[in-house]
Amino acid sequence: MTLNISPDDVCWAQAETISDTWLLQFLAIDILRPIADFILQHNRGNATEFAILRTGSYNISLRLQYEPHGATVIRFPQPGAVLFPEEKVIHEVSVMRFLTDQTTIPVPFILHSGTKQESPLALSPFILMEYLEHETKLYDALNTPGLPREQRGVLDPDITQEKLERLYAPMADVLLQLSLPALPRIGSLSQRDDFTWEVTRRPLSMNMNELVRLGCLPRSQLPSIDTNFPTASAYVQSLADVNLDRLLHQRNDAIGSSRTLRRWSSATLRRGGC
């Protein structure tokens, strides 16, 4: 059921301001130098270049390159964009190590990770990992040659079948390997020892993050951190409940039309709500 719920523009603006302000500090040498020094403590070498690798919607990554080859990346979740940064980093590290253990998918080796207080200048929780060298990006390999970078990519009409197979075969292998590992519950992974993995925490999803960030849902309305689910139906029911709870707490722009309001009211009454 789609209710077409819009984000709360006030919450959205506040979150964007926090994120943008935090990112601006990475333009200062007084911020970059301690980060580079921190990386060198964990992976010493003859450093040649240090720069922002990429700023995405939820993280910023910086890369320190070495001579004659090799590089290390440190990645920080952005405050304002990520509402549960410590939990997010713990889960990502667990998944990366799980994939390394259970599959042959190329995954960066994690050198170190830690909390905000353990990070350089207490910036944010972090993951410090090796950089995987690559020749190109799939986007660039598929894109029409000569298309301006500012334009949205278009599949090269002259691309050969051989090239498509060469590009998509490794992707198919990755997807197949991702589909094979099975766990008895739905949630987030914890590593008990070198060979044992268990689902012990809630499945912290992008949807949960956005409900709090853009919908002003109180964090207390989300499943507790030690919650996990025995079945898909139990998980889907929890998702439905949390998304409906958002409508009870979002102050602005939650309902776009009277029709949507009637559908929401009907769904709320069916689950015994107000």
Q: What is the DSSP letter of 79?
A: B
CB-CB contact of 235 with 210 (8 Å): no
Q: Given 3-state DSSP classes, what are the helix, strand and coil percentages for the chain, each rounded to the nearest 5?
A: 45, 20, 35
Overall average pLDDT of the 164-175 stretch: 94
Domains in the chain: boundaries? 9-136+178-270
d(CA 17, CA 39): 28
Q: Is the pLDDT of residue 2 over 90?
A: no
Which tokens belong to 123?
């910036």
Q: Write the pLDDT tens digit of every residue in 103-112.
A: 999 999 999 9
Around Cβ 50, how many Cβ atoms within 10 Å? 20
Q: Write the pLDDT tens digit of every residue in 230-264.
A: 999 999 999 989 988 887 888 776 666 666 656 65
Give the chain's mean pLDDT.
Answer: 89
Q: Tell me which fold the domain 9-136+178-270 belongs to.
A: Phosphorylase Kinase; domain 1 (3.30.200)
